Structure 1
Amino acid sequence: MGVWSASLFDALDESDLLRKDGEKWSVAGDGVLSSWVADMDFPTAPVVRKALRRRIEGDLGYPAWFDQSDGGPLGGVFAGRMLRRFGTAVDETHVRMFTDINQAMLATLQVATRPGDAVLLHTPACPPFIDVIEKTGRQPLTVPLQANDTGWEFDPDLMERAVASRSPGRCRVLFVVNPHNPTGRVFRRDELEHLAELALRHDMLVISDEVHADLTYPGYRHIPFVSLSDEIAARTVTLTSGSKAFNLSGVRCAVAHVGPKTVRSALDERHGLMFGQVSVLGVEALKAAWAQGDGWLDDVTRVLDRNRRRVAERLPDGLRYRLPEATFLAWLDCRGLGLPDPDPMPYFRDEAKVLLFSGPAFGAAGNGFVRLNFATSGPLLDEKLARMGAASRRRQ
């Protein structure tokens, strides 16, 4: 192992987690183990803590990067990371900063589309994405992923029919989540090329959420959407942050690499008070994570790789699970339990004292499913699975 050993990641104190005041643990309830929202239980990377302490002891005044036309303080760091980890060269001056992925998506939709325009995306879909689309007056055009013996796939014909169902030119955006949340799929090059061809043929802007890219497991390869061709790069907005790989959801800092010049200019015209600004602490945390945190990340990924297999080995009877190719999220099919409610979450919360994410919250494609976050210690994961196993046996 690199920075830490697996034993250190497994040395989490349950009582300390229960005292946390963040969303993940504070809403769990007495005696309930939390595995719902996508925060890891692991402590923050040492390089990030060091960077934050240094900034706190320094200048906390107004930052000097209000104008981001040169990419701002994260442009070069992002470009360097894309080249180092994914072999993709990008223009650092195309980077713009936002507080999170959802805000970046919202801002892009506002400047690049009109109310009533459709956004094509796969389901199950992370709930905030549908929320952003609908609250901006745009229409989610959903196409379900299909389960097969090897994992999850999308049906190209269904996507074609979905686009054709709208009046010409009104499906304006293809929204890609890769690696996919909640299924954990890492799309292959041929799949991405089909999506790219669809976007080109229908003149769609592409918004590509790649926030889980750093958490891709051995044997799989994340391919940035912008790397497919120069033509695709010129119409793609790539969204990412350190919220998942480095557990930095609360620092509120994300980036958008904005390929289309018209979208970039429109965002710059409205930058500042309209879309808000990231904090200096958020920038320092993300800069340190991306520039110096790879050793910590490699250690975490090895522990998560072990944990995803642990779920497969110890999953209760009656539940189905396809090993995720990325992310720290297990998408569990609970339909074999015969629960009367399409949402298994309340059953496991009440009967197993394990809080999972509701499957139906991801759309109709999530009926009968729950999402389990396995970014925790081995002993805690074992306890959660044991509780779920006991509750499952009571249904049989």
Structure 2
Amino acid sequence: MFDQLDPDDLRQRPGAKWALADPGVLPAWVADMDFTAPKAVRAAVARHADFGYPLWDERPEQNPLRGAFVARMAARHGVALDAGHVRLFTELNQALQVVLHVATEPGDAVAVHTPTYPPFLESVHGMGRRLVPIPLTDSGAGWTFDADRLAADVVRHGVRALVLVNPHNPTGRVFTRAELTAIAAVAEEHDLVVIADEVHSDLTYDGFTHIPFASLCPHRTVTLYSASKSYNLAGLRCAVAHVGDARVRSGLAKLPPLLLGEVSVLSVLATLAAWQECDDWLFEAKATLARNRALVAGGLPEGVRHHSPEATYLAWLDCRELRLDVDPAAFFLERADVLLSPGPDYGSTGYVRLNFATSGPLVEELLNRMATAVATR
């Protein structure tokens, strides 16, 4: 199903991924899939006829996503969460900024694994917080970080909060229980709020296991989650946060009730349909992504290094051996007509991020274009 994609049809879509690519350019940048959203999601939106104020405006506890999220975490990960601590947001970026707003002050230090998702970097800097990097380094066998350095930096910089992106964007790492336990120990010792972005957790590949951070440190974790990545619903603007930290719950309760806006009825219905009716769609999507992941591993240009992601549909490519005189993303756009995400946006020069959530033929075409560009430069 997911290999039946026509580039001409894709170019007619109004979404940013294809609309911002010039004619002839293959876009592999922003983290949208090219796959059509699940049929059950589209049906749930199409058959809804009541666009009045929803019941949960007056009774938030009756929003169906609260219970659906808690049930999903219990079924998929064996984690028991409190539905009363679930809040809805329009997207993860909004949730991150709100939690930072109530849990930290301007000038406070926030630890983040780097490289990282550009809007998170922009949020930390734009809100006047000090970013303390937790560098991910290439061990040769994969991406890792120094837990001892993290503990020392938390003390040195007076870190108040830690943003944990797991599975990690852009490297695709799925942190192990040992790594997460080390982070939890630091968080406990130094009384940190941990904001755990787990939006890619449904896209973990065979052989790797996603461990929700709330299962290790429930009373200081705010878990961020959405159907946006797994089911290609980002434009519907709906995310959930389980606020396990009482300090954050208290801070949220002090905000004016409508300051943050509300998610739409349709976004709630679409997310509910995705979580409850679209396991078959997700299974096929993951199988297609696993195949594409293998295509990327076997088809990169000579001189481009990477570690196959353990989750996500994103490949983090090290192009430094090419010794290009321009940013690699600019090179591949000019010479291969392939639009990639530039590494400097994530805090790393010499890298690009490639989105392989498209058809097999399109993955092969963009890899061939990149290889030809490198071979003929």
Cα gap change, 1:68 to 1:137, in 2 (>3 Å) = farther
2:303 to 312, 318, 339: 318
Shift, 1:346, TM fit: 0.7
Aligned to 1:31: 24
Aligned to 2:359: 377
Shift, 1:161, TM fit: 2.9
Equivalence map 1:210-249=2 (5 Å)? 210-228=198-216, 232-249=217-234
Aligned to 1:101: 92
Q: Does residue 251 in structure 1 map to residue 236 in structure 2?
A: yes
Deviations 1:340-366 (A, max 9, x none): 23x211110110000000111001xx2
Shift, 1:95, TM fit: 0.6
Shift, 1:86, TM fit: 1.3
Shift, 1:68, TM fit: 6.5
Give the TM-score normalised by structure 1: 0.93
Q: Does residue 78 in structure 1 map to residue 66 in structure 2?
A: no
Contact 1:123 1:145 survives alignment (8 Å): yes
Cα gap change, 1:69 to 1:112, in 2 (>3 Å) = farther
Structure 2: gaps (5+ residues): none
Shift, 1:330, TM fit: 0.5
Contact 2:332 2:373 survives alignment (8 Å): yes
Contact 2:91 2:238 survives alignment (8 Å): yes
Shift, 1:261, TM fit: 2.3
Shift, 1:18, TM fit: 1.3
Given residue 330 of structure 1, which amino acid in structure 2 is its aligned partner? A
Contact 1:72 1:95 survives alignment (8 Å): no
Cα gap change, 1:308 to 1:381, in 2 (>3 Å) = same
Taking the aligned partners of 2:181 and 2:192, their CA distance within structure 1 comes to 14
Shift, 1:321, TM fit: 1.4
Contact 2:55 2:62 survives alignment (8 Å): no
Aligned to 1:119: 110
Taking the aligned partners of 1:177 and 1:237, their CA distance within structure 2 comes to 12
Contact 1:69 1:94 survives alignment (8 Å): no
Structure 1: gaps (5+ residues): 1-7
Give the TM-score normalised by structure 2: 0.97
Given residue 254 of structure 2, which amino acid in structure 1 is its aligned partner? E
Aligned to 2:371: 389
Taking the aligned partners of 1:383 and 1:258, their CA distance within structure 2 comes to 44
Contact 1:328 1:375 survives alignment (8 Å): yes
Given residue 142 of structure 1, which amino acid in structure 2 is its aligned partner? P
Shift, 1:85, TM fit: 1.1
Specify the SS of the correspondent of 2:317: strand
Taking the aligned partners of 1:67 and 1:272, their CA distance within structure 2 comes to 11
Specify the SS of the correspondent of 1:121: strand
Q: Which segment drifts farther, 142-151 or 258-267?
A: 258-267
Equivalence map 1:136-175=2 (5 Å)? 136-166=127-157, 170-175=158-163
Shift, 1:111, TM fit: 1.1
Contact 2:230 2:282 survives alignment (8 Å): yes
Deviations 1:306-338 (A, max 9, x none): 110110111111111101100000001111111
Q: Does residue 200 in structure 1 map to residue 193 in structure 2?
A: no
Specify the SS of the correspondent of 1:65: helix
Specify the SS of the correspondent of 1:102: helix
Given residue 246 of structure 1, which amino acid in structure 2 is its aligned partner? Y
Given residue 202 of structure 2, which amino acid in structure 1 is its aligned partner? D
2:332 to 348, 366, 369: 348
Deviations 1:226-268 (A, max 9, x none): 111xxx2011000011111011110000000000223223213
Taking the aligned partners of 2:271 and 2:255, their CA distance within structure 1 comes to 24
Cα gap change, 1:71 to 1:392, in 2 (>3 Å) = farther
Specify the SS of the correspondent of 2:21: coil
Shift, 1:380, TM fit: 0.5
Aligned to 1:186: 174
Shift, 1:390, TM fit: 0.5
Specify the SS of the correspondent of 1:85: helix
Shift, 1:137, TM fit: 1.9
RMSD: 1.3
Aligned to 1:5: none
Identity of aligned residues (%): 52
Given residue 334 of structure 1, which amino acid in structure 2 is its aligned partner? C
